[in-house]
């Protein structure tokens, strides 16, 4: 490793500590290391390793400069080398805390490079780090993956077993948004068909067929089945085809439908998942909070019941354009004319909450505690100001699409 790369390692390691919140169970102090990123001038670790024999790593322990030394007699050279850094942190050189190190930094760096070069060829390795706060090489292993394989690898590479620490960690992933390709498929994600974008309402099983529900107008033709093909999130992506429209009742005239109009009780359709597409029944993408505009997925809601809402109920939706929005039901069972069409949607529910183009098809639900939710319907419309959305109640969706298992 070059001097530059070693110097960068201190910063990256500190950032890693801060970001991944590595609490090092083998730390002699059992204290949380503090990120060194605050330092105006981080010491060059390669220089330290050269100037201070036995130097084994530098970190801040609750703000106190702390150093591993394999040879305690090297305190003098250490204070000389790190004096300016300590003073910059508000400590005298004599206040630098020295811990008994087992390994020199140069050895750790060599082992780190060996292990890093080979470990990722194995499955389940999340990261490899020269952990300055523990005087060890730390290997993050995905939960459920083998730690023994790491130890075998270390032995094969001539790395002392005691110099390697393994830890179960979660995989580190890019933060996905509602507009990204996400698997398993959950409600609230963007879908693409033709030259249109909508959102997934909810996953369902109908007559044994794995499916998702979205808006009827999110099909090639609103009303009637044309076998619309759906992609998540864009057809231009690899492996994005997820399913085909299989249910979308035609709009009717007469009866309760106003003259010269066509009607339905729901703006909903069902698509069958393509073979091999993974989805989570009852799963709804969750963002960081309601009405904050975030589209970044931070978790998943779980449908645990079906229900209906009354005026005054606070309900939610998650859709690809405005994310998670929440507000009160203002009107129920409203016969609603659809702008620019002859369509009247019968007995729909109005909600005072944010909406935007592309949210059509979104799930509408009520929170019932924790991440459990009660599924209420499918969003399809909104006002021009984006402050009110309209949805089809779930009972009417099932009236037209047939019984649906949704969790």
Return residues touching another protein (CB under 8 A). Answer: 179, 192, 195-198, 215, 217-218, 222, 234-236, 267, 319, 321, 336-341, 355-360, 379-384, 386, 389-390
For another protein, which is the closer residue by CB, 14 or 263? 263
| Shorter beta-carbon distance to another protein: residue 69 or 191 | 191
Closest CB to another protein among residues 46, 219: 219
Which CB atom, from 30 or from 339, has the smaller least distance to another protein? 339
The DSSP result for 133-200, as a single string, is TTTEEEEEEETTS-SHHHHHHHHHTT--GGGEEEEEEPPP-PPPBTTS--SSEEET-EEEETTEEEE-
Give CA–CA dist 280/404, Å, rounded.
Answer: 15
Dist. CA 224–CA 270, nearest whole Å:
11
Cα end-to-end span (Å), the chain: 52
CB of 73 to another protein, least distance (A): 59
In the three-class reduction of DSSP (H, G, I as helix; E, B as strand; rest coil), residue 354 is classed as: coil
Residue 377 beta carbon to another protein: minimum distance, rounded to whole angstroms: 14
Q: For residue 255, what is the DSSP state?
A: T
DSSP letters, 27-62, are -TT-PPEE-GGG-SS---HHHHHHHSTTEEEEEEET
Q: Give least dist CB 265 to another protein, A.
A: 16
Q: How far is the CB of 390 from another protein (least distance, A)?
A: 6
CB of 406 to another protein, least distance (A): 22
**In sequence order, what are the residues at sequence separation of 6 or more whose Cβ sits closer than 8 angstroms to the Cβ of residue 83?**
93
Residue with Cβ nearer another protein (46 or 199): 199
CA nearest to 153, candidates 184, 117, 108, 207: 117
Of 58 and 338, CB closest to another protein: 338
Bridge partners, 390 (sequence order): 350, 381
Residue 307 beta carbon to another protein: minimum distance, rounded to whole angstroms: 23
């Amino acid at each position: 490793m070059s001097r530059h790369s070693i110097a960068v390692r201190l910063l990256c390691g500190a950032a890693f500590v801060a970001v991944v919140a590595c609490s090092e169970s083998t730390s002699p102090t059992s204290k949380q290391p503090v990120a060194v990123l605050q330092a105006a001038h981080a010491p060059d670790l390669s220089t330290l390793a050269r100037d201070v024999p036995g130097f084994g790593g530098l970190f801040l322990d609750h703000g106190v400069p702390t150093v591993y030394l394999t040879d305690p007699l090297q305190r003098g050279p250490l204070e000389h080398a790190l004096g300016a850094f300590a003073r910059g942190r508000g400590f005298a050189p004599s206040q630098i805390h020295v811990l008994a190190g087992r390994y020199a930094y140069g050895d750790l760096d060599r082992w780190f490079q060996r292990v890093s070069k080979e470990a990722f060829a194995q499955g389940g390795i999340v990261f490899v780090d020269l952990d300055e706060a523990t005087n060890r090489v730390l290997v993050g292993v995905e939960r459920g993956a083998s730690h023994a394989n790491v130890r075998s690898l270390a032995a094969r590479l001539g790395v002392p077993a005691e110099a390697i620490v393994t830890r179960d960690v979660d995989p580190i992933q890019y933060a996905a948004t509602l507009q990204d390709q996400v698997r398993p498929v959950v409600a609230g994600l963007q879908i693409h068909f033709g030259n249109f974008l909508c959102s997934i309402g909810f996953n369902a099983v109908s007559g044994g067929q794995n499916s998702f529900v979205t808006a009827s107008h999110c099909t090639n033709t609103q009303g009637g089945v044309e076998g619309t093909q759906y992609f998540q999130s864009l057809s231009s992506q690899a492996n994005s085809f997820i399913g085909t429209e299989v249910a979308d009742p035609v709009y009717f005239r007469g009866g309760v439908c106003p003259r010269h109009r066509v009607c339905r009780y729901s703006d909903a359709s069902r698509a069958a998942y393509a073979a091999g597409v993974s989805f989570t029944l009852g799963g709804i993408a969750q963002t960081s909070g309601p009405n904050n505009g975030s589209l970044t997925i931070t978790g998943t809601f779980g449908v645990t019941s079906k229900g209906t809402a009354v005026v005054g109920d606070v309900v939610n939706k998650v859709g690809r354009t405005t994310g998670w929005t929440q507000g009160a039901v203002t009107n129920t069972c409203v016969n609603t004319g659809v702008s620019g069409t002859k369509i009247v949607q019968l007995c729909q529910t109005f909600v005072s909450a944010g909406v935007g183009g592309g949210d059509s098809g979104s799930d509408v639900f009520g929170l019932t505690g924790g991440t459990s939710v009660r599924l209420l319907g499918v969003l399809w419309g909104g006002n021009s100001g984006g402050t009110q959305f309209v949805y089809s109640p779930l009972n009417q969706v099932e009236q037209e699409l047939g019984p649906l298992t949704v969790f």
